[in-house]
Structure 1
Amino acid sequence: MSKYVLRETALHLLTRIGEQGGFSHVLLDREIKKQNLSPQDGGLLTEIVYGTLQRRDLIDYYLQPYLSKQKKLKPWVKWLLYMSVYQMKFLERVPDHAILHEAVEIAKKKGHKGISSLTNGVLRNVQRNETRDLNEISDLIERIAVETSHPRWLVERWMEQYGEEVTTNMCRANMQHLPMSVRVQPMRISRSAAIEELERDGYEVGESIFSEQGLIVSQGNILNHPLFMDGKLTVQDQSSMLVAEMMNLEEGLTVLDACSAPGGKTTHIAEKMNDTGQILAYDLHEKKAKMVSKKAEQLQLTSIDAAQADSRTLQDIHSGQSFDRILLDAPCSGLGVLRGKPDIKYHKKVEDIFSLRKIQDDLLEHIAPLLKEDGKFIYSTCTVDQHENEEAIKHFLNNHPDFSIDPDFVSDLPEPLQQSEGLSEYGLQIFPYQWDTDGFFLTRLVKK
């Protein structure tokens, strides 16, 4: 694919994601497959789209002095400027003159002479002049919001919950590339054998501290490797691998995974139990439940039964005290996964957190009775908001005296996590800057 067509494609995706709320990871993945892009072209397209989204507000701050206050830019022109400035300021291997030339050509083709002149003039100003100093912003919250391209309400909220240092570190981490991590299917290959094979093929890999099955891939596209294609490896963020590791699993248990799609945690549970016992995996959407079945098939796991159901109604299907272990990986605001899905931060509103919390409370309320006495219940989310995490658990425990936090929870964590600043009396909050992972919360409850 020519670099011109690649940038045109990036502009199309950015305008769609930025203006219509499409999911960046879904649209990118679809485009790369549709165009059958080489790893190099796919990598550059991903870099431009994610990088521009991650730094949208900072780039806008850089552009403001060169844009007329009266002129309202068409959305595609705005995104063309954003992606061009991103490449000029943050990508070293692409020369400015090439970026400028292609931006002007795209503007000519999509617009008229006035738009191509504006594009040329603005980008030449950006090229010639120093970038605008962030110290011009005296308000601390506003400065962090602009520097790290997070909405002001979110920075304010995190400041209230965690203070300046954690908030700043978290916002800055959300602008960094998230390393790929994978899990070995231990019944088909050991971690050491996988490392050996990958290193032989030129990949750079390291062991994860979160799971004895986890690998961090710092060099090489794992999706093209035979081990992945053959279902001996599956992609999963390290923080989410912690879930199955913390469930105290053993062979032959009956396990409920209440919100199971896309199936990463479900299949990990099956692997930890050597594909014995029974895992009942539910999802609200039939299409998503089918994804779980497909993932189990890819990894050659037979102990998983996936089906569509609203988990708030599972008491109509299962009698009380049916399960040895329950996982509720609850629907949440997703504010922990902004590194891999940067568009989330622009589309979420504070009200979403409160409406999701209602669903989390309902799920906890209706699923808890299905746990056997002395059973263990894991609650997890991929968010970093206390209202959805610690406060949800506190509320549940206040209303259910037969449940408590498992006293062995902390000592069962991998050793480096046992001293984490994210530990509270209600569970573990993992921040995205701590271990180069997604932001994630989990806790383990026991039924007395």
Structure 2
Amino acid sequence: MFRSMEPLLLQILRIGFYEIVKLNMPPYAVVDENVKLAKVALRPGAGNMVNGILRKLVLVKENNSLPLPKLEGDSRAQARALATLYSHPVWMVRRWTKYLGQEEAIQLMMWNNSDPSFSLRANAAKGITRDDLVMQLNSLKVPHEVSLHLDDFVRVKIGLQNVIRAGLLKEGLCSVQDESAGLVVSVVDPQPGEDIIDCCAAPGGKTLYMASRLRGKGKVHAIDINKGRLRILKETAKLQKVDGVVDTIHADLRTFAENSPMKSSKVLLDAPCSGLGVLSKRADLRWNRRLEDMEQLKNLQDELLDAASTLVSSGGVLIYGTCSIDPEENEDRVEAFLVRHPEFRIDPVNRYVPSDFVTKQGFYFSDPVKHSLDGAFAARLVRTL
């Protein structure tokens, strides 16, 4: 029944379910308000349906008899049960069970359903150290802990709204950036005086962090197909006092690489991906992403890798990264790339990130469950010819 419902009606029911089951709001008030909403937003008959379904839910909840699926039957039946129990699409459950096993897949889904934590990066380009940021957080009474992996980062579980209201982000003193993304920048290892090409750069979190690590010397050439997001990146670079080392280029990387003579010893491709590593912060993404998207994304990632590789000078390094935990977007893409491009070889990342994040193949990988961070991947690929 629910699959055939119009999206707005389904959304109204979801709101009502959440308010009754999770927020424990007064059932009569929830039913009344959502019935009114359905009648106004849709039609009187929709209000009657919302009334009937939500009242049935109230009765079930009061009798403490919400039905739970059982992990019985074949793998498909078990995947459907897990999908219901942990609120994830069936295709994701089946995929993770295949790659991780059922127990780890459950742990991953539990992580995705937990309250997310956020990390703040102190903006060194404006002379702000992590100690300065910690003092600000103490004054705002925001609970926090310093990153175990990056000197510029502080982790915040609650109180981010206080940081926003205090204007720390607006003034460019810090940025919201997960440590997993910061560690991708560590894999790039930006050094003052270097010219770095950042492909698919917008919205620019890694661009800005790399720029700050150049300490006013060098350049980050930020390429992106989205003109609006590039404009925001340019404005943020000015706010964070790194606009002198950030150069924005509006282009499709694939076309740009064919026609541009630009070369660099360091090229970062933070590729468009499924985002399966950031579902704890993007609960909507699990329902908007489809299995069919994965094949399209893999093709796009291959095309972008081929294009980015032409921008790498001899002896230079191509860094391929994603915010995905899916091996088909990560290790498999690197393996396929190396078959097409034998002039590249893997450069292990163990010199750039803590050993706990280094895979057997020498890649960087942030595991949400193991590291309590967003999922992320990066590989360093050196051009030998």
Deviation at 1:234, TM superposition (A): 1.0
The answer (yes or no) to whether the contact 2:125–2:241 under 8 Å persists in 1 is: no
Q: Map residues 102-141 of structure 1 onto 2, 5 A cutoff.
A: 102-107=33-38, 109-110=40-41, 111-112=43-44, 114-115=48-49, 117-119=51-53, 121-129=55-63, 130-135=65-70, 138=73, 139-141=77-79
Paired residues, what number?
Answer: 373
Picking from 342, 367, 373, the partner of 1:431 is 367
Deviation at 1:363, TM superposition (A): 1.4
In structure 2, what is the Cα distance between the partners aligned to 1:152 and 1:74?
21
The letter of the residue matching 2:378 is L
Picking from 139, 159, 163, the partner of 2:101 is 163
Match of 1:183 in 2: 121
In structure 1, what is the Cα distance between the partners aligned to 2:288 and 2:2?
26
The letter of the residue matching 2:56 is V
Cα shift readout 1:60-106 (whole Å, capped 9, x = no counterpart): xxxxxxxxx699655444333322222222225x4444434433443
Deviation at 1:107, TM superposition (A): 4.6
Deviation at 1:120, TM superposition (A): 5.2
Match of 2:11 in 1: 79
Structure 1 residues 199 and 404: CA distance shift in structure 2, 3 A? same
What are structure 2's unaligned runs of at least 5 residues? none
Q: Secondary structure at the match of 1:134?
A: coil
Structure 1 residues 114 and 141: CA distance shift in structure 2, 3 A? closer
| 2:344 maps to 1:412 | no
Percent identity between the two aligned chains:
28
The letter of the residue matching 1:386 is P
Q: Secondary structure at the match of 2:268?
A: strand
Cα shift readout 1:322-366 (whole Å, capped 9, x = no counterpart): 212110001112222222222222232222111111111111112
Match of 1:358 in 2: 299
What are structure 1's unaligned runs of at least 5 residues? 1-68
The letter of the residue matching 2:135 is E
The letter of the residue matching 2:325 is V
The letter of the residue matching 1:187 is A
Cα shift readout 1:199-235 (whole Å, capped 9, x = no counterpart): 1111112112342211111221122222222101111
Structure 1 residues 150 and 72: CA distance shift in structure 2, 3 A? closer
Structure 1 residues 123 and 317: CA distance shift in structure 2, 3 A? same
In structure 1, what is the Cα distance between the partners aligned to 2:258 and 2:4?
55
Larger fraction in helix: 1
Structure 1 residues 91 and 318: CA distance shift in structure 2, 3 A? same
Structure 1 residues 315 and 115: CA distance shift in structure 2, 3 A? closer
The answer (yes or no) to whether the contact 2:13–2:54 under 8 Å persists in 1 is: no
Structure 1 residues 441 and 108: CA distance shift in structure 2, 3 A? same
Structure 1 residues 405 and 114: CA distance shift in structure 2, 3 A? same
Match of 2:224 in 1: 283
TM-score by length of 2: 0.89
The answer (yes or no) to whether the contact 1:108–1:115 under 8 Å persists in 2 is: no
The letter of the residue matching 2:376 is F
Match of 1:343 in 2: 284
In structure 2, what is the Cα distance between the partners aligned to 1:265 and 1:406?
20
TM-score by length of 1: 0.77
The letter of the residue matching 2:268 is L
In structure 2, what is the Cα distance between the partners aligned to 1:70 and 1:165?
29
Structure 1 residues 86 and 137: CA distance shift in structure 2, 3 A? farther
Q: Secondary structure at the match of 2:371?
A: coil
